[in-house]
């Protein structure tokens, strides 16, 4: 049966903390030239870290408010809020419940979603299906948020100089008989990598105790080095799968918004597909790696710059610890 109702992206927004941390910070702290490597290899020049009194909900609220203002939608019109993050406000309850209260979205249901840095695309997929399949959901706010600076060992140059903080949001709305909106999606997991990178204390496996804190297991750790070809291989496979499912050639896709942890992985993916690098807008240069937030941040910046316009075919490709992968195709 042909669907009449679809989830469309009505507006986007983003927020990054005010505190700018340049590469020179690490040069001075570590006593070596970290800046040159970061510029040449991952194209990160600076990043934003949250203030000491700034938490994940603060980032989410500011991105959410900007998104709603641009859409001319009031908080009380929201039916659902999904916050995608692996740096939550608390272990329990959800970050989204606090955001709902502070935003004044009294009618909205809420939940958090954690598939690490694939979280935003997973949440986008989930929200779209709520709208498509249940008439009670007319407007859904999806926010990807990251406050990983709170979990960094600032002396560990494998992590501290890459990861940063921010939030990006989109508002989805129901639209009848629409030619735009959600088209297809896919989730994949390579669970054999679950213990290769993460924050391994604080849950039920390793509750935080004095001994665990001393071992720094409550901080983000790269335990093993991931194969270089892993992301480009799976990202390109997911892109081709989306193309096949919606009946387009890869050259017809206008924009690719891909997890921003490594610009070389993004370029390698596009090279595999024969697609110009310009079709993948990147934001790691001045914001660092913002995990769940990086894809909606890239969308928002490209949209505000005029690179993205209504009618464009866009693919969202996310990946994160676990390893979790998520893809979604939309016509804006």
Q: Tens digits of per-residue pLDDT, 117-141?
A: 999 999 999 999 999 999 999 999 9
Give the range among 2-6, 60-64, 319-323 with minimum mean pLDDT: 2-6
Residue 203: pLDDT band with limits 50, 70, 90: confident
- Examine the domain organization and report whether 11 and 87 are in the same domain: yes
Residues 165 and 276 in one domain: no
Mean of the pLDDT values across residues 171-177?
95
Q: Do 173 and 196 lie in a common domain?
A: no
- In the prediction, which pLDDT does 156 show? 82
170-174, 213-217, 300-304: the lowest-pLDDT one: 213-217
Q: Please indicate, yes or no, whether residues 133 and 118 belong to a single structural domain of this protein.
A: yes
Domain containing residue 224: CATH number: 3.40.47.10
Do residues 215 and 128 share a domain?
no
Residue after which a domain boundary falls, among 118, 145, 179: 179
Q: Is the pTM for the entire model greater than 0.75?
A: yes
Do 167 and 29 lie in one domain? The reply is yes
| HSE value, Cβ hemisphere, 13 Å, CA-based, for 71 | 25
Q: Which pLDDT score is estimated for 300?
A: 98
Give per-residue pLDDT as tens, 31-79. 888 898 899 889 999 999 999 999 999 999 999 999 999 999 999 999 9
259 φ, ψ (degrees, to nearest 5): -45, 130
What average pLDDT does the segment 98-123 reach? 97
Q: What is the rounded end-to-end Cα distance, in angstroms, of the chain? A: 23
User: Which residues, listed in sequence order, are joined to residue 323 by a DSSP beta bridge?
Assistant: none
Is residue 146 within 8 Å of 293, Cβ to Cβ? Answer: yes
Query: In whole numbers, what is the pLDDT of the chain averaged over residues?
Result: 93
Q: Inform me whether the pLDDT recorded for 318 exceeds 60.
A: yes
Do 116 and 245 share a structural domain? no
Q: Are residues 68 and 120 in the same domain?
A: yes
DSSP symbol at 163: B
Name the nearest CA neighbour of 13 among 173, 171, 169: 169
Q: What was the pLDDT predicted at 178?
A: 85
State whether 170 and 222 are in the same domain.
Answer: no
Express each pLDDT in 209-267 by its tens digit.
765 555 556 887 767 788 788 999 999 999 999 999 999 999 999 999 999 988 999 99
Q: How many Cα atoms sit within 13 Å of 68 on the Cβ side?
A: 21
**Does one domain contain both 44 and 107?**
yes
| Residue at which a domain ends, from 155, 179, 203 | 179
Q: How many domains does the chain have?
A: 2
Range of the domain at 137: 5-179
At residue 3 the predicted structure's pLDDT band, cuts being 50, 70 and 90, is low
Q: Is residue 1 over pLDDT 50?
A: no
Name which of 15-19, 34-38, 95-99, 202-206 the model is least confident about: 202-206
- The answer to whether 263 and 231 are in contact (CB under 8 A) is no
The verdict on 320 and 244 lying in the same domain is yes
Which among 142, 157, 179 is the end of a domain?
179
Q: Is there a contact between 7 and 332 (Cβ–Cβ < 8 Å)?
A: no
pLDDT at residue number 116: 93
Q: What is the dihedral of CA 205, 208, 214, 217, to 10 degrees?
A: 40
Whether residue 253 sits in one domain with residue 222: yes
The share of the chain scoring above pLDDT 90, in percent, equals 77
Query: CA 124 to CA 172: how far, in whole Å?
Result: 9
């Amino acid at each position: 049966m042909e669907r009449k109702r679809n989830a469309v992206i009505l507006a986007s927004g983003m927020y990054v903390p005010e505190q700018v941390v340049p590469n020179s910070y690490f040069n001075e702290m570590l006593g070596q030239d970290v800046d040159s490597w970061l510029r040449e290899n991952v194209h990160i020049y600076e990043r934003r870290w949250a203030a000491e009194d700034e938490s994940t909900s603060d980032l989410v609220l500011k991105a959410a408010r900007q998104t709603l203002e641009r859409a001319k939608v009031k908080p009380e019109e929201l039916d659902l809020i999904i916050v995608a993050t692996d740096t939550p406000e608390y272990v329990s309850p959800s970050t989204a419940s606090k955001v709902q209260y502070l935003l004044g979205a009294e009618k909205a249901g809420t939940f958090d979603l954690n598939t690490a840095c694939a979280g935003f695309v997973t949440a986008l997929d989930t929200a779209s299906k709520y709208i498509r399949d249940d008439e009670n959901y007319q407007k859904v706010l999806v926010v990807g948020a990251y406050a990983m600076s709170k979990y960094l060992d600032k002396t560990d140059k494998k992590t501290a100089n890459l990861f940063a903080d921010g939030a990006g949001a989109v508002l989805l709305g129901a639209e009848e008989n629409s030619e735009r909106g959600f088209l297809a999606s896919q989730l994949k997991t390579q669970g054999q990598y679950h213990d290769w990178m993460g924050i391994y204390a604080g849950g039920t496996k390793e509750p935080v105790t004095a001994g665990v804190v001393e071992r720094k297991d409550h901080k983000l750790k790269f335990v093993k080095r991931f194969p270089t070809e892993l992301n480009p291989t799976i990202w390109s496979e997911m892109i081709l799968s989306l193309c096949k499912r919606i009946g387009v050639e890869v050259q017809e896709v206008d924009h690719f918004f891909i997890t921003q942890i490594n610009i070389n992985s993004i370029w390698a993916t596009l090279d595999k597909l024969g697609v110009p690098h310009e079709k993948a807008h990147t934001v790691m240069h001045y914001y660092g790696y913002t995990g769940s937030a990086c894809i909606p941040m890239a969308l928002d910046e490209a949209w505000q710059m005029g690179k993205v316009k209504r009618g464009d075919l866009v693919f969202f490709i996310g990946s994160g610890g676990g390893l979790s992968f998520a893809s979604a195709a939309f016509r804006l």
